[in-house]
Chain A
Amino acid sequence: NAGVMQNPRHLVRRRGQEARLRCSPMKGHSHVYWYRQLPEEGLKFMVYLQKENIIDESGMPKERFSAEFPKEGPSILRIQQVVRGDSAAYFCASSLRQGFDGELFFGEGSRLTVL
């Protein structure tokens, strides 16, 4: 009965490197959301995906960030050429259906540190 699994839990990158964060939703869930949380701040929506489709990417920075949720395998949030300002906790959440009932199940987060 695994929940939302995120890995790595902690990731350290130097400026200019790439970061890949993975998220496996709860079994049976086909809706995945990525949120970013900066230190001492709230969660900021980044992207909402269903299998093989990006539904809403209005919170994604225009450059360097991309997300996918392939037919097989986990959802991946990719950050190219990381900068110090990308240091944050990245939370993935999944839901059984579109989240109007409010029940998003969150993973424990991936904490990215850019040196």
Chain B
Amino acid sequence: RKEVEQDPGPFNVPEGATVAFNCTYSNSASQSFFWYRQDCRKEPKLLMSVYSSGNEDGRFTAQLNRASQYISLLIRDSKLSDSATYLCVVTGGAAGNKLTFGGGTRVLVKP
């Protein structure tokens, strides 16, 4: 079983719609969780951290479910510029100091 698993997609989303997707992690000792965004053939960039209580940043909402070992990302009012691959990232526990990336979920927002 992979340490961090994501549905690769693509999720085809009409502009203005809401899209949500999850990421599961295998190590219950994982401590910190993040969403990164990667545009085609570009470097990943931090989108947001994921806090235990859930957190929101504009149109983006991230949640953590430790009992079921998954995190989620919800994008409201999707924009064309939201088209990208969203990478789930986990650190701590057995991973130690390194960030462990999921394979990414590809989102395509269409007019």
Residues of A in contact with B (beta carbons under 8 Å apart): 33, 35, 41-45, 48, 55-56, 58-59, 89, 91, 98-104, 106-109
Contact = CB atoms under 8 A, between A and B. Distances in A.
B99 A102 contact: yes
B34 interface: yes
A102 B46 contact: yes
7 contacts: A42-B103, A48-B98, A91-B44, A100-B97, A102-B32, A102-B46, A102-B91
Given A35-B101, A56-B97, A102-B32, 13 more contacts: A42-B6, A42-B102, A42-B104, A44-B101, A45-B101, A48-B97, A48-B98, A98-B97, A100-B91, A101-B32, A103-B46, A106-B43, A106-B45
Contact of A43 (B32, B34, B87): B87
Interface of B: 6, 31-32, 34, 41-46, 49, 87, 89, 91-92, 96-104
B20 to A, nearest CB: 20
A14 to B, nearest CB: 23
A107 to B, nearest CB: 6
Contacts of A99: 91, 97-99
B97 A55 contact: yes
Given A48-B97, A100-B32, A102-B99, A107 B43 contact: yes
Given A100-B92, A106-B45, A43 B97 contact: no
B45 to A, nearest CB: 7
